[in-house]
A and B are shown apart, each in its own frame.
Chain A
Amino acid sequence: MSTGNAMVTVLAFVLALVIGGVLIAAVDPDVTKAAGYFFSRPGDLLSAAWSAVASAYAALFRGAVFDYQADTFALAIRPLTETMTTATPLIIASLGVAVAFRAGLFNIGAQGQVILGAIVSGYIGFTYHLPAGVAVLLALLGGIAGGALWGGIAGVLKARTGAHEVIVTIMLNYVATNLLAWLLTTKAFIGTNGEPKSITVLPHAQLPLLFGSQFRVTWGFVIAILASVAVWWLMSRSRLGFQLRAVGSNPAASRTAGISVQRMTIYVMLISGALAGLAGAVQLLGTSKYITDGIAGTIGFDAITVALLGRSKPLGIFFAGLLYGGLSAGGRFMEVVTGTPIDIVLVLQALVVLFVAAPALVRTIFRIPAPSGELKGAAA
C-alpha cells in the first residue's frame, strides 16, 4: 500500500511537471515562432520547446534548492533557506488542517485562523513591553488562542447545531479578512502610520534568526518541527488522538463506544485553529514583523493542499510543506530569471494534488494495475 502510494505521488508529480512544461512551452515566444514553420523544420519547435521548459525548471530548482551558479557557498545555499522560511508557516497550518481531516472535519478556515493568530500575536507583540523570552512566548500563545477561538466557533456551531463546518469556516475567512481590514484603520494597530500597516513587533517579541543574519530562517522552523512531532504524538500515541481518529473513521461506532462526538468536534476545531493561529504568529513574529492586509498571503489555502499532498500524516506534511515552500521560493526566482510567471506553480500544485487524490486516474494513465483491495479515491 505505502509503496504504491509513494509511486503514485511521484508519478503525479511527473504528470504535473509534464503538463506544466507543455504550458510553459506553449506560451514561449521562441516556440510560437518555430511553430510557424513547423512543417518545414519540426526539429526547431522541439528544441525551442525543450530549451524553454528546461531553463524554466532549472531556474525553479536554483531558486528552491541550490543555486549552482552563485559565487559563494552561502549564496548558493540561500535558496534552500528561503524554501525553509516559506515552508515554516505552511507546515504548521497544514498540520492543523490535517488534524481536522483525520477527525473527519474539513477545515477550510485555516486562512481566517491564520489571520486571527497574526492579529492577536501582533497586538501583544507591539503593545506590551515585556522582557526577552516572555514577550515572544506570550505573543505565540496569543496567536494560538486567536486561531483556536476562530476554529472553535466553527466547532461549537457544528457540534451544537450541525452547521456544516465547510460553510462556516469559509464565511469566517471573510469575516476575519474584513475584521483585519478594519483593525488596520484603528489607532491601536497602526499607531501613527498613515497607511494600513501595523506597528512593528517589538524586538523582544520577534523570533530570533536560526542561522545568523545571512539567512531569513528563524526559530519558527524549529517550532514547525516541534509542532510536527507534537501532532504525531497526539494523533498516534495519545488517547485523545485515538478518539479523534475513531470519530473520523466512524462517528456512529464511536458514539456507541462512548465517545462524545460533539465534544470531539469542538476539540478538533480548537486544535486545528490553534495550529493555524500559531502559523500566523510564526509568520508575523519571524518573517513579516508587522501586519498588513496580506499578512496571511495564501498560507491558509495552501495549507489545505499541503495537508492533502502529505496525506494528513505529520512526516508527509513536513515534506509536502517543504516541497510547496520550494515551489513558491523557486517560482519567485524563476519569474525573475526566465520571465515565466510564478502562477505556473499554482497549476503544478493543483495538478499534483488532483492526481494524488485520484490514484485510479494515475494508474490508468500509466497503465499500472491496481493493487488488490485498494479503495478508490481514498484521498485523506
Chain B
Amino acid sequence: MGITSKPVVFAVLSAAVILIGTTATVFIPLFMPSTQPVSAYIKPYTAVEQEGRDIYMREGCNNCHTQTVRPLRTEVLRYGEYSKPEEFAYDRPFLWGSRRTGPDLNRVGGKYPDSWHYTHLMSPQGMFEKSNMPPYAWLAKNKLDTSYSYKKTSTLGYGYSESDVEQQIGKYQATVTSETYPSKVSRDKVTPPELRKELTEMDALIAYLQKLGRDVKQMEAQK
C-alpha cells in the first residue's frame, strides 16, 4: 500500500471517503425543499415566545423533554397528533431532544391553562409528589430581558419590524398583568410584588410552551 507512506495523500483520501456519506445524506438534503417543507399555517414565534424558547434552551429543558411525537398508536394516544415536518420550519436550532425523562412537549400548547404552568414550574413536586423535575421558581423572580428581542427575531428572519416587536412585547405584558388575566391568582402567587407589572422569564417560557403544537391544528384541519 503506497499511501501508508504518504501522509498528506492519506489525509485527503480519508476526507474524501468521509465526505461521500456526508454529501449523500446531509449536504444534498439541505438543498431539497422536501427535507424541511413550509406551510403558511405555521407562523414564526412572537418576540416573547422566542425569548421563552431561549430560556427553554438556556435551562437545557431539551435534555429531558422531547418535541417530536412519533407516528405510533400509544404515542398519539398519550400526546396527540404525531409531529409534521412543517411545524419546525422556524426552529433554529431544532429541539427534538433524545431522552424522555419527562413527557414530550410538542403538543403541550393549550393542553393546560397558564395557571397550571405557573404552579407546576414553581414546584413540580408540589403538584406531583413523585416528579423528579427540577423546580424553576427563580424564573418568576427574573425580569425578562428584551434588549435583544428585535435583534434575535431579525437574525432568525421572522420579518418583524422594531415596532412589531415592541408591540408584541407590550401586548403580552398587558395580557399577563391585566386584572382580568384568567391565571392572575397563580401568577401573583409565584411572582414577587415588584415584578407583577413586568414580564418575567417565567411568563415568556409559558408563552413559548403554549405555542407548541398550536398552529399545526389549523394546518391539519385544512387537509
Say if A and B assemble together: no
